[in-house]
Amino acid sequence: MTRLFNDPAAFADEALEGFTAAHRRWVRPVTGGVVRATATPAGQVAVVIGGGSGHYPAFSGLVGRGLAHGAAVGNVFASPSARQIHSVATAAHAGGGVLLMYGNYAGDVLHFGQAAERLAADGVETRTFAVADDISSAGPEESAKRRGIAGDLPVFKAAAAAAEQGLPLEEVLRVAERAGARTRSFGIAFSGCTLPGADHPLFTVPEARMAVGLGIHGEPGIGEEALPTADEAARLLVETLLKELPEDVADPAGQRAAVILNGLGSVKYEELFVVYRRVAALLGDAGVEIVDPEVGELVTSFDMAGISLTLTWLDDRLEELWRAPADTPAYRKGALDAAEPDPDRASATAAAQDTAVPAAPVVPAASDASRGAADTVLAALDAVARVVDAHADELGRIDAVAGDGDHGIGMRRGSTAAHRAAADAHGLGAGAGTVLTRAADAWADKAGGTSGALWGTILRSLGTALGDREAPDAARVADGVTEASAAVRRLGGAEVGDKTMVDVLVPFADALAAATAEDLPLADAWDRAATTATAAAAGTADLLPRRGRARPHAEKSLGTPDAGAHSLALITRAVHGALLDHH
Would you please indicate which residues are annotated as catalytic (active-site) residues? Answer: 217
Contact status, residue 149 vs residue 133, Cβ threshold 8 Å? yes
55: Cβ contacts below 8 Å, ≥ 6 apart: 216, 299, 300, 301
Contact status, residue 71 vs residue 50, Cβ threshold 8 Å? yes
| Three-class DSSP labels, 108-162 | HHHHHHHHHHHHHHCCCCEEEEEECCECCCCCHHHHHHCCCCCCHHHHHHHHHHH
Buried b (16+ CB within 10 A) or exposed e, 535-560: ebbebbbebebebbbbbbbeebbeeb
Length of the chain: 583
Q: Is the peptide bond before 80 cis (omega within 30 degrees of 0)?
A: no
- DSSP-assigned letter for residue 239: H
Alpha helices in 221-336 (DSSP H): 230-242, 269-285, 316-323
Enumerate the β-bridge partners of residue 333.
326
Distance, C-alpha 519 to centroid of its chain = 42
| Type and span of the H or E element at 187 | strand 183-191
Q: Which residue type, as a one-letter code, is found at position 290?
A: I
Contact status, residue 483 vs residue 465, Cβ threshold 8 Å? yes
Question: In angstroms, rounded to a whole number, what is the distance separating the alpha carbons of residues 435 and 325?
Answer: 49
How many CA atoms are closer than 13 Å to the CA of 331, on its beta-carbon side? Answer: 31
Cα-based angle 177, 217, 112 (whole degrees, multiple of 5): 45
